[in-house]
A and B are shown apart, each in its own frame.
Chain A
Amino acid sequence: MEILVCVKRVPDTAENEFELNGAGNDLDRDDLVYSVNEWDNYAVEEAIQMVDKMGGSVTVVTVGDDESEEILRREMAMGANNGVLLSDDAFEGSDGKGIATILKAEIEKGSYDLILTGAQADEGAGQVGGMVAAMLDYPYASLVNKIDVMDDKKIKVGREIEGGNQEMNEISLPCVLSIQTGINEPRYVGIRGIRKVSSVEIPVKSASDLGLDAASVGSAGAKTRRVDYFVPDMGEGAEMLEGSTEEIIAKLIEKLKAKGGL
């Protein structure tokens, strides 16, 4: 099975305290720690396990800048066979459809049986996979937490729905699936693994390599645009308990008693 997995480099929510830049139109990105989108690691792990069982290959692809190469290498250290970086100044400011248009162009250059994305990335949109599928006229299922290959034309997938219930579907190949966390346990990647793939050549493709009209992607082609970032005014928020640990605990215990917590 030939599998393509779309991956994205994102700010790590566990490692950062987010601040806005002076102008308020972006995050202060100077000291941000980036990593692979959490959901994408599950997608890559799933692809690797499928290929281990059935043969074939896993390719990881990202739309990003030079720095995005590091995440392709990380996923190759996990076991992906190939990496492709789609990079061009013209891609900057793309909305979900722009990213999907770029990925579609790359997908059409290969012949993949299965395309995987993460269920969502840093923007919490969960849009790219469904858009790629619609553009290719491939079937799509989101939030997939189980894949059973039936034969080379059909797979059975479980989608995680509300309440943790699972919706089972039969889907014909080729198709696009967005992968939900928990479907597997992504393997650990050590420094040695990364070192092993550090000299592997990763092709970089531009808009013209992909045969894309620059006006159809990037900010030029974007119908949806981010105007600014801001910190919402959520009213009062929590009453913050301060002081020594003993003082904090004493105050907390009073409140817990009053609210029926003790």
Chain B
Amino acid sequence: MTQIYAYIPFKNGSAEDVALEYPAAAKKIDAAAMLTAVVTGSGAELDSVATEMSKIYEQVIKVDNQALAYPNAEVVRKALVNIIPKDAILLVAHTTFGMDIAPGLSVKMDAAYAADIVDFEGIEGTRLKMVRQELGGAVSTHVTADISAGAVITIRPGAFAPVDGGAANGTITDKSADAGDLASTRKFLEVVEAEVGDVDITKSDVLVSIGRGIEEQENIELAQELATAMNAVVSCSRPIVDAKWLEKSRQVGTSGQTVKPKVYMAMGISGSFQHLGGLKGNPFIVAVNKNPKAPIFQVADVGIVTDILEFMPELTEAISSL
């Protein structure tokens, strides 16, 4: 029988949303698989997450150690190598923690690796068939992995439908004694919080958001003028912040702000999942992009194929004369 383990990330004593998404992913791998949640941490916080998980999962393993109090990928990896059976499938969320731990863990477990999976199409023989994306979401691919010696797989948060938790009465098994030597060559020091900017983009109902399609720093003015006409605020994708054209607090996405506007104007933004990950609350999305194949058109409500540098001034003028 396929054995699947799901690593549960948590913050401030409660599990992240992906904890409710692993069960759907596991079912798509093998509906008959045995699924076990794995929680590592320390003390009362760990216990409360383990209890929370026992309401969703039939089997929960907890590993309690002071060295695991902060999820330092190197330390967690050492513990998991000793806890996860060699031929099992381990699911990890494709987050900054997942990217940190999973590739090296697959090497240490001598298991197959697949990253950022958005769908599973079942097991045939020794091979598991999966769907992932390349080139910033522009194309999808099927990949297969030989899982006969186990697999480590990261899944994209939000890609699998969450289950309604609460019904299970799972057993919690304490495997702290099996974690082994957790000494580490990488020492966690602290988390430095992101700086707060002048403008709070999370407060605005309408965002005019610009991406690499803005091409030059001077062109940001065109977006600012449109935003003013719409009584909106300018936000952006990551490359605009990397180029230091706008401050970090204007960035929408997993490594930026989470926003819930009513209307989101995506101007020259391709629509990578890290960008869309910051867009919540089902806003009305208008995408303007000169590439008719841009992935943003798959999630937008309204699409316009044109050059934003020509389109924005015309739209500004039309709105201003209403």
Contacts and interface: CB of A to CB of B under 8 A. Distances in A.
Contacts of A149: none
Contact of B99 (A142, A248, A259): A142
Given A124-B133, A224-B113, A230 B142 contact: yes
B24 interface: no
A227 B144 CA distance: 7
A143 B97 CA distance: 10
A108 interface: no
A230 B112 CA distance: 23
A18 B139 contact: yes
Given A168-B191, A259-B263, 15 more contacts: A18-B135, A122-B134, A122-B135, A127-B115, A140-B186, A143-B100, A162-B95, A163-B194, A164-B256, A175-B185, A239-B303, A240-B297, A240-B305, A245-B306, A253-B318
A92 B242 CA distance: 34
A255 B302 contact: yes
10 contacts: A18-B138, A97-B113, A126-B103, A141-B73, A166-B191, A225-B144, A230-B139, A260-B284, A261-B230, A261-B286
Contact of A260 (B99, B258, B262, B291): B262
B100 A262 contact: no
A255 to B, nearest CB: 6
Nearest to B156: A124
A238 B303 contact: yes
A260 B189 contact: no
A99 B322 CA distance: 58
A239 to B, nearest CB: 5
B103 A131 contact: yes
B191 A259 contact: no
A227 B135 contact: no
B318 to A, nearest CB: 5
Interface stretch (A53-61, A152-160, A199-207, A211-219): A152-160
Contacts of B186: 139-141, 169-172, 175
Interface stretch (A9-17, A62-70, A74-82): A9-17
B4 to A, nearest CB: 17
Interface of A: 11, 13-14, 17-18, 20, 27, 95-97, 100, 119-120, 122-131, 133-135, 139-143, 156, 158-172, 175, 178, 181-182, 185, 223-232, 234, 237-241, 245, 248-250, 252-253, 255-256, 259-262
A114 B106 CA distance: 22
Contact of A237 (B129, B136, B257, B297): B297
A162 B84 CA distance: 26
B107 interface: yes
Interface string B257-296: 1100011010000100000000000001111000111000
Given A13-B270, A229-B140, A253-B318, A124 B134 contact: yes
A93 B312 CA distance: 44
B39 interface: no
Contacts of B168: none
Contacts of B300: 237-238
A158 B192 contact: yes
Given A96-B103, A134-B104, A142-B99, A241 B302 contact: yes
User: Chain B contact residues: over half helix, strand or loop, or mixed?
Assistant: mixed
User: Chain A contact residues: over half helix, strand or loop, or mixed?
Assistant: mixed
B309 interface: no
A205 to B, nearest CB: 22
Given A20-B139, A124-B116, A172-B185, A238 B287 contact: yes
Nearest to A168: B189
A130 B286 contact: no
B192 A165 contact: yes
Contacts of B188: 167-169
B319 to A, nearest CB: 7
A181 B239 contact: yes
A238 B298 contact: yes
A240 B303 contact: yes
A227 B129 contact: yes
A235 B184 CA distance: 47
A229 B131 CA distance: 10
Nearest to A251: B302
A140 B104 CA distance: 9
Contact of B314 (A172, A237, A249): A249
A242 B152 CA distance: 46
A117 to B, nearest CB: 11
A143 B99 contact: yes
B251 interface: yes
Nearest to B112: A223
B96 A262 contact: no
B322 A262 contact: yes
A28 to B, nearest CB: 11
B143 interface: yes
A122 B133 CA distance: 10
A159 B108 CA distance: 22
Contacts of A232: 131, 140, 298
